[in-house]
């Protein structure tokens, strides 16, 4: 036993320089170098840290940061790991063209890559070059959303169990996005006014939406269970939760306050590396995604059902019931009513509201005999 431990220690010691070298590549975006060599002064050293710092100043979301950094690294590798400041329009155009021709990415993905490169040159490198404004964005095609019927929604919900089912009810009954539902805090649920407050939604915007009456009893029972769990966490010296922006410094006690806890907390706790606090994150979105996928397959739906399909169905069914499109726009949090207008494709004015000429001509059932 002691020999095995000694051999493992020797193995780790031998691998330590290689691990440190690999970490240096990932952290600085450069090439590996010997441990005893002098640090070269290069313009692209720690470019990722500079880009992340600029995005933090502009309060971009964490997912936008990760997406932009991924595209910057991909562009840097495509150009042979050359300094981006020495490259120009030809390299950016070639990179975007390769995405469409070689990688066959969608137009929205290509535009995201372009946005990341524009941010890199304008905001990080400080190069406001004329060719940046001349780049043509890919035309994003219009796609119709996948919508479930009311019977299909009921079938999927009946096939779900536990917290994911309650979350799916809120997705459909309140028109929430998945992450908006996962990030609900106790203070954002108003049982007196039957409404939910969405904080820092898409575009960093707050909005108010309805709390479905059918979900009210189940949500009250669920919060009672979560409160008991939070009390046990407090007794164990944990009970902390992540707070937005500088609230952890302004309100030191808020991190353990009941009102700031997640409505749908994770099953495990973790220790924050910076503060050393034992926290509980919200339930990961993949838990709900897997359960929705499993339920859709179990009921035999051929449509591609995702968590966002509940939101599409929410808007469509409201319009079918005669709700004003401006009201639906406010509930969904759309900045432009034209975005909400896409859900009018299923109303009586669409293909389902007219009679086919074949029905008028043939009258009866179509015979498939040859």
76 with 152, same domain: the answer is no
Residue 212: CATH number of its domain: 1.10.443.10
Domain extent, residue 233, equals 143-351
Tens digits of residue pLDDT in 183-239: 999 999 999 999 999 998 888 899 999 999 999 999 999 999 999 999 999 999 999
Task: Give the per-residue pLDDT at 20.
Answer: 45
> Could you give the residue ranges of the DSSP H alpha helices within the chain?
2-28, 47-57, 62-78, 89-101, 107-119, 150-158, 162-174, 178-182, 216-235, 247-250, 285-298, 307-320, 325-332, 337-340, 357-362
**Number of structural domains in the chain:** 2
| Burial class of residue 75, CB neighbours in 10 A (0-12, 13-18, 19+) | buried
For the cut 50, the answer to whether the pLDDT of residue 56 exceeds it is yes
Between CA 269 and CA 272 the distance in angstroms is 10
Nearest to 220 by CA among 209, 212, 231, 210: 212
Q: Which of 52-56, 281-285, 351-355 has the lowest mean pLDDT?
A: 351-355
Q: Count Cβ atoms below 10 Å from residue 368 Cβ, excluding itself.
A: 5
Q: Is 334 a catalytic residue?
A: yes
126 with 147, same domain: the answer is no
Length of the chain, in residues = 370
Tens digits of residue pLDDT in 287-303: 999 999 999 999 999 99
Q: Is residue 19 part of a domain?
A: no
What is the arrangement of strands in the sheet containing 195-198, beginning at the earlier edge strand?
A: 189-190, 195-198, 207-210
97 with 206, same domain: the answer is no
Between CA 312 and CA 51 the distance in angstroms is 35
Catalytic residue among 52, 230, 282, 311: 311
Give Cα separations from 245 to 1, 103, 179, 200, 242 (angstroms). 49, 38, 18, 11, 10
Task: Give the per-residue pLDDT at 178.
Answer: 97
Q: Is residue 41 part of a domain?
A: no
Q: Is 143 a catalytic residue?
A: no
218 with 174, same domain: the answer is yes
Between CA 233 and CA 349 the distance in angstroms is 55
Q: Is 202 a catalytic residue?
A: yes
For the cut 70, the answer to whether the pLDDT of residue 153 exceeds it is yes
Nearest to 208 by CA among 176, 253, 163, 164: 176
Q: Is 308 a catalytic residue?
A: yes
Tokens in use for 156? 């999927």
Catalytic residue among 44, 177, 282, 317: 177
Catalytic residue among 202, 207, 281, 293: 202
295 with 340, same domain: the answer is yes
Tens digits of residue pLDDT in 315-348: 999 999 989 999 999 999 998 888 888 888 766 5
Q: Is 187 a catalytic residue?
A: no
Task: Give the per-residue pLDDT at 135.
Answer: 62
Q: Is 249 a catalytic residue?
A: no
107 with 175, same domain: the answer is no
Mean pLDDT of 131-142: 68
122 with 212, same domain: the answer is no
As a whole number, the mean pLDDT across the chain is: 83
60 with 150, same domain: the answer is no
Catalytic residue among 91, 278, 308, 345: 308
Between CA 135 and CA 126 the distance in angstroms is 18
């Amino acid at each position: 036993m002691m020999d095995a431990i000694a051999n493992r220690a020797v193995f780790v010691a031998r691998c330590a320089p290689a691990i440190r070298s690999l970490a240096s590549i990932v952290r600085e975006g450069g090439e590996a170098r010997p441990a005893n060599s002098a640090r070269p002064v290069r313009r692209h050293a720690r470019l990722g840290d500079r880009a992340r710092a600029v995005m933090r100043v502009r309060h971009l979301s964490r997912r936008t940061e990760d997406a932009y950094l991924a595209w910057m690294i991909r562009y840097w590798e495509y150009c042979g790991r050359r300094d981006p400041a020495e490259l120009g329009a030809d390299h950016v155009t070639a990179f975007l063209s390769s995405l469409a021709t070689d990688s066959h990415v969608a137009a929205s993905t290509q535009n995201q890559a372009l946005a990341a490169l524009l941010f890199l040159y304008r905001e990080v490198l400080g190069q406001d070059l004329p060719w940046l404004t001349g780049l043509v964005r890919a035309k994003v095609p219009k796609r119709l959303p996948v919508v479930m019927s009311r019977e299909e929604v009921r079938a999927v919900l009946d096939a779900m169990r536990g917290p994911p089912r309650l979350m799916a009810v809120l997705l459909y009954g309140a028109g929430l996005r998945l992450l908006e539902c996962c990030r609900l805090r106790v203070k954002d649920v108003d049982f007196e006014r039957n409404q939910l407050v969405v904080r820092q939604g898409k575009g960093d915007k707050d909005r108010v939406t309805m709390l479905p009456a059918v979900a009210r009893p189940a949500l009250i029972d669920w919060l009672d269970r979560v409160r008991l769990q939070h009390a046990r966490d407090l007794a164990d010296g944990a009970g902390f939760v992540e707070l937005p922006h500088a609230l952890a410094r302004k309100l030191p006690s808020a991190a353990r306050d009941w009102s700031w806890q997640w409505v749908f907390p994770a099953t495990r706790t973790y220790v924050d590396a910076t503060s050393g606090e034992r926290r509980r994150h919200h339930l990961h979105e993949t838990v709900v995604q897997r359960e929705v996928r499993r339920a859709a397959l179990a009921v035999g739906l051929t449509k591609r059902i995702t968590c966002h399909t509940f939101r599409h169905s929410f808007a469509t069914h409201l319009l079918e019931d005669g709700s004003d499109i401006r009201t639906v726009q406010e509930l969904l949090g759309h900045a432009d009513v034209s975005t909400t207008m896409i859900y009018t494709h299923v109303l009586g004015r669409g293909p389902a509201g007219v009679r086919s000429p074949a029905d008028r001509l043939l009258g009866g059932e179509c015979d498939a005999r040859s």
